[in-house]
Amino acid sequence: MAAPSAAVTAVSGYESFLVGEVAMSYLYPIALFQGRSETTLTVALPRNALVDEWKLLVQARRVDSTLLQQVAQVRAYDTTTSHELVVDFGTARTVSGISLPGGAQVNMVFAWLGTQFSPTAAFAATATSNALFTEVRTERLRVVISRQLNGDELAAVSLRLPEPPSGLTISIDGGQPVYQHPEPVQPRGDVSTPDEAGWDKDSRRIVPLTAALAALAANPLGDEAPASFQLTLRTAVPCELSLATSGTPKLRRIRRLRFGGETSTRSDFDSEGRIDLPIDLPSPPGPGLRRIDEVRWIAEADLAAERVLPPLGPDAAQASGTPVLAELLVDSGRAVAVRLPPGSGLATLTALRLPLAVDGDGAEVRVVLWSADPVGGAPLAALPQGASEPVTLAAAAAYAPEAWVRFDFAQPQPLADATLPWMVLVVARGSARWALASASATPADPLNAQLPRRGPPTGPFKALPQPLQDAVGPINARARLRLVGLPPKAAPMAPLELQLDASPAVAVTPTAKGAAGTLAPAGGIASAAPQLRLTSRVAGSVTWRDIDVVSDV
C-alpha cells in the first residue's frame, strides 16, 4: 500500500485499491495549504546594498470555504453498505462545516478525541450536501457520506474553517522568523488603507522588514548584481494569504575603495599639507551624478605631537602675468617684524615656517622673538633665548621659487594670546625675498593680524608705505607664516582633517592600531569625479584602510 505523501508541494493523483472486501482510496493534495497557509515573495537585493526602508504588504483574510485538499489529507473507506471519509489535518483545526459535490450527502460527522473518534456525532441531522455544525477543534474528522466519491469529486470537497488567521510568521530563505504575529487577525472595520498600526477592513497591514533585509546585505565588498532572497509568509490557520512589496524600497550602496588589488593606501606627508585621493567607483547607472552620503575609514599612524598652523597657505597675492604682487627684500641692513597671530590653539611655540626665496650666492637667516609693548603693542625688545637656530639658504638662480623654511627654537616658547610676541626675520649674509599675501575678506582669519613692519635688525620697526598697507591701495599686505608648536593637553588638536570635495572638514586622529572615522556631509555630495582631501598638520605617514563609500546608486 502506498504511503501518503507528506511533502508540502508533493504532486500526485487519486489511487483506489481493495483491502480484503473494503475498497480504499487516497487523495494526495496537489499542494498542501496551497496559497492558504503559505505564500512566498522573491526579492532582489544587491549584496552591497544598504537598506534604508523596505516594507511589505501582508494580507491574511479569513475565508468561509476552503478546498479540502488544500488543508488536509483524505482517506476514503468504501464498502457495499457504507462510505466514509477520514480527513486528517495533521494539526488541530477549528471546523464548522463540510460540503460535498455532485449531490452526495453528509450523514454524520465525528471529531477525533486524541486516541479515537468521538462516539457522539458532531453532525447527525438530516442528510445534506452542505453540513453545518457547532465549531469543533480537532486534528481529524470522520465523515459518513451517502455514496462513494470519485477522484474529481474528492478534489471538490470543501470545509468551513471559521477560525481567523493567526500564528503568522515571515522568514527569509528558510531561516528563523523575522516577523511574528501570533494573535488572531482582527480587522478594523473603519480602516480602508493598510498601515503599520494594525489590520485594515480587508485584513491587510504594512510590515516593516528593513532591519531583517539590511542584515543580509551591507557588504562593502559584495556583488553589484542583485541576489535573490525568498520571503515566506506562513499562517497557522489557512486563509486568503498574500505577500507583496509595499511602495518602492529605499536603498543605497556601500563600496570599499580599492587601490590596485589592495583595500588600503598610504599617504606620505613630507611636511604639513594636503594630498587628494580620488574616489574610484563604478559609473552610475543613469545620466545623473552619483550622490555620496558618507565615507567611513580606519586610519593608522604614529604621528608627532607637533602641529603646524595653518597647514595650507597663506598664498601670495598675485597680479596678472606675475607670480607675486609684492615681496619684501630682507638683507643685513633690513629686517621684517610680524606679530604672531592670535587664536592658534597652540600652548607652546617650537618653530616658525616662512616662505622664502633666495637669489645669487644664498643667505644665512634666522628669526628672533621680540616682546610687545604693553601700551601700544609695538615690538619692544628681543626675548631672552628667543632666537632660532640660523638657517643657510643655498645659492639659487635669479627669481628661484620660494620654499617654506623652518626655524627651530632651542627652547619651546610659551604662546598666549594676551602676550603674543613679535617675530623678526634677520639676515646675517646675503638676501632673501618674502612674498606678501593680501588681507583676507574673512574678518576672523588670523592672516589679518599679520601686519608686517620694516626696519634695521635692532629696530625700530615701522609700518609699510600706505599703498602696501591700505584696503584701497595696490595691496593690503599681510605677512605669510606658519606656527609650529604643541596644543595644551586639555585641548588636543587632531593632526589631520578630511574633506569630501569641498564639504566641511572633519578631524582625524589616527592611532597605531587604527582608529575608525566617518564623514557624512549634510545632503551628500554629488560629483562627477569625487575625491577625498587629506590635510595634515604634521609630517608623517598615514595608512588608510577599509575606506567605505556610501552613495545613492
Pairwise CA distance, residues 179 & 89, whole Å? 25
Q: Domain check: are 113 and 229 in the same one?
A: no
Residue 23: DSSP 8-state: E
Please check whether residues 105 and 26 belong to one and the same domain: yes
Query: What does the DSSP assignment read for 426-462?
Result: EEEEE-EEEEPEEPPSSTT-GGGG--EEEE-TTS--E
Q: Give yes or no: residues 182 and 247 share one domain.
A: yes
pLDDT surpassing 80 at residue 81? yes
What confidence category does residue 70 fall into, taking pLDDT thresholds of 50, 70 and 90? confident
Average pLDDT, stretch 293-310? Answer: 97
- Amino acid in position 326: A
- pTM for the complete prediction? 0.79
Is 187 a domain residue? yes
Average pLDDT over residues 115-128: 93
Using the predicted structure, report yes or no on whether residue 37 has a pLDDT greater than 70.
Answer: yes
- Note the pLDDT of residue 65: 82
Q: What does the angle CA 301 – CA 306 – CA 308 come to, to the nearest 5 degrees?
A: 105
Residue 7 reports pLDDT greater than 80: no
| Contact call for residues 500 and 549 (beta carbons, < 8 A) | no
Q: Is residue 6 part of a domain?
A: no
3-class secondary-structure state, position 422: strand
Peptide bond into 460 cis (omega under 30): yes
More confident: 154 or 27: 154
Comparing 524 with 62, the larger pLDDT belongs to 524
- Residue identified by cell 455532485 is 102
Q: What is the pLDDT of residue 473?
A: 83
Residue 370 carries which DSSP code? Answer: E
- Domain termination site, one of 111, 141, 160: 160
Residue 129 has pLDDT above 50, yes or no: yes
Range in 34-38, 47-51, 66-70, 247-251 the model is least confident about: 34-38
**Over the stretch 509-522, which tens digit does the pLDDT of each residue have?**
999 999 999 999 99
Q: Is the pLDDT of residue 240 over 50?
A: yes
Decide if pLDDT at 308 tops 90.
yes
Which of 150, 186, 148 shows the shortest CA–CA distance to 166? 186
Give the span between the Cα atoms of 239 and 60, in whole angstroms: 6
Q: What is the DSSP letter of 151?
A: H
Per-residue pLDDT, 449: 94
| Residue 446 CB coordination number (10 Å) | 19
Q: Is residue 9 part of a domain?
A: no
Higher pLDDT, 198 or 401: 198
CATH of the domain at 406: 2.60.120
Average pLDDT, stretch 184-200?
A: 96
97 part of a folded domain: yes
Q: Give dist(CA 306, CA 42) in Å, integer.
A: 57
| pLDDT of res. 236 | 86
Paired strand residues for 18: 23
Say whether both 189 and 231 belong to one domain: yes
- Supply the Cα-derived Rg of the chain in whole angstroms: 42
Is residue 8 in a domain?
no
pLDDT band at 42 (very low <50, low <70, confident <90, very high): very high
**7-16, 126-135, 476-485, range with the lowest pLDDT:** 7-16
Q: Are residues 427 and 475 in the same domain?
A: yes
- Are the C-beta atoms of residues 363 and 430 closer than 8 Å to each other? yes
- DSSP 8-state symbol, 512: S
Residue 265 predicted with pLDDT over 70: yes
Contact call for residues 88 and 289 (beta carbons, < 8 A): no
Q: pLDDT tens across 82-101, in order?
A: 999 999 999 898 999 999 99
Cα 18 from Cα 76, distance rounded (Å): 12
Verify that 508 and 394 share a domain, yes or no.
no
Q: How far is CA 492 from the centre of its chain?
A: 29
Per-residue burial over 97-117, b = 16 or more CB atoms within 10 Å of its CB, e = otherwise: bbbbeeebebbbbbbbeeeeb
Instruction: Convert the pLDDT of each residue in 529-551 to its tens digit.
Output: 999 999 999 999 999 999 999 99
Q: Is residue 7 part of a domain?
A: no
Residues 148-178: b if buried by 16+ CB within 10 A, e if exposed: bbeeebbbbbbbbbebbbbebbbbbeeeeeb
Both 287 and 345 in a single domain?
Answer: no
Q: What residue numbers bound the domain in which 398 lies?
A: 309-486
| Structure confidence by residue, pLDDT tens digits, 363-408 | 999 999 999 999 999 999 999 999 999 999 999 877 788 999 999 9
Average pLDDT score over residue span 107-120: 96
Q: SS3 of 467, please?
A: helix
Report if residue 171 sits inside a domain. yes
- For residue 410, the one-letter residue type is A
Q: Is residue 195 located within the same domain as residue 50?
A: yes
**Number of compact structural domains in the chain:** 4
Task: Of 79-88, 237-246, 396-405, 474-483, give the lowest mean pLDDT range.
Answer: 396-405
Same domain for 57 and 67? Answer: no
The pLDDT value recorded for residue 300 is: 98
End of a domain among 160, 193, 224? 160
Average pLDDT over residues 332-348: 96
Instruction: Mark whether 398 and 529 lie in a shared domain.
Output: no
51 and 172 in one domain? Answer: yes
Domain boundary among 486, 516, 540: 486
Range 42-81 burial, b when 16+ CB lie within 10 A, else e? ebebbbbbbbeebbbbbbbbbbeebbbbbbbbbbbbbeee
Q: 191 or 21, which is more confident?
A: 191
Which grid cell is 220?
562593502
C-alpha atoms less than 13 angstroms from C-alpha of 280 in its C-beta half-sphere: 7
pLDDT band at 335 (very low <50, low <70, confident <90, very high): very high
Q: Are residues 412 and 357 in the same domain?
A: yes
Report the SS3 class of residue 413. Answer: strand
Answer whether residue 338 shows pLDDT above 80.
yes
All three cell numbers of 315: 598664498
* % of the chain with per-residue pLDDT over 90: 81
**How much is the mean pLDDT over the chain?**
91
Between the alpha carbon of residue 394 and those of residues 327, 340, 357, 391, the distances in Å are 19, 27, 10, 10
Residue 416 lies inside a defined structural domain of this protein:
yes
Looking at residue 2, its pLDDT comes to 34
Distance, in Å, from the CA atom of 413 to the CA atom of 346, rounded to the nearest integer, reads 11
Q: What is the pLDDT confidence band of residue 11, given thresholds at 50, 70 and 90? A: very low
pLDDT band at 36 (very low <50, low <70, confident <90, very high): low
Q: Under a CB-based contact definition with an 8 Å cutoff, are residues 108 and 128 in contact?
A: no
Q: How far apart are CA 545 and CA 542, in angstroms?
A: 10
pLDDT class of 438 with cuts at 50, 70, 90: very high
